[in-house]
Amino acid sequence: MRPTESSRERQGLFEDLLGRGVLLRIRVTGRSMVPFLQGGEMLTIRKASASSLRKGDLVFFKNRDGHPVIHRIVKKYTHNDVLTFQTRGDALIGFDGPVREEHILGKVCRVERGRRDLNLETARWRYMNYLRAMLSLSGSRLYFTLSTFKNLLA
């Protein structure tokens, strides 16, 4: 599916605002990050250098189709001298395609859930999100291993 003109304009606006150092506040509408994000939460996103991002961080990026997405980093590596990330929605089985550093728009730094305000940049939340990323990675690997094993037996 191709991005609509309005989604391209919105994405351009997001990039422009974040590039100027403005914090972006958006409401969660999807379900790919359940159970961490249920939908309806307000997220605060800030520009972050790709080198400062870590496993577990929730990043705002452009996917292969050019659509803005928020998913969790589960792996960070260098490929052809370009910093690259493997991301995944917490509720999804598979991974996103590789996300190159130039496709990163920002990092989620705060989640407002009703009266709760979660600062994802505290040591506690960085650790919790790192654990979520590692469990997510392990769960996906286990799922694919079991699926392969099941197919071999069939």
pLDDT digits over 72-122, tens only?
A: 999 999 989 999 999 999 998 888 999 999 999 999 999 999 899 999 999
- Reported pTM: 0.83
Q: Worst-scoring range by mean pLDDT, 5-9, 30-34, 69-73?
A: 5-9
In terms of CATH architecture, what is 5-153? Ribbon (2.10)
The DSSP letter of residue 39 is S
Average pLDDT, the chain: 87
pLDDT in tens, 127-152: 999 999 988 777 666 666 666 766 66
State the residue for tokens 């961080």: 57
What is the number of other CB atoms lying within 10 angstroms of the CB of residue 1? 5
Q: How far apart are CA 83 and CA 121, in angstroms?
A: 21
Is 109:46 a contact under the CB 8 Å cutoff? yes
pLDDT at 126 over 80: yes
| CA dist 142 → 17, 89, 136 (Å) | 40, 16, 10
The alpha helices in the chain, defined as continuous H runs, are: 5-19, 123-153
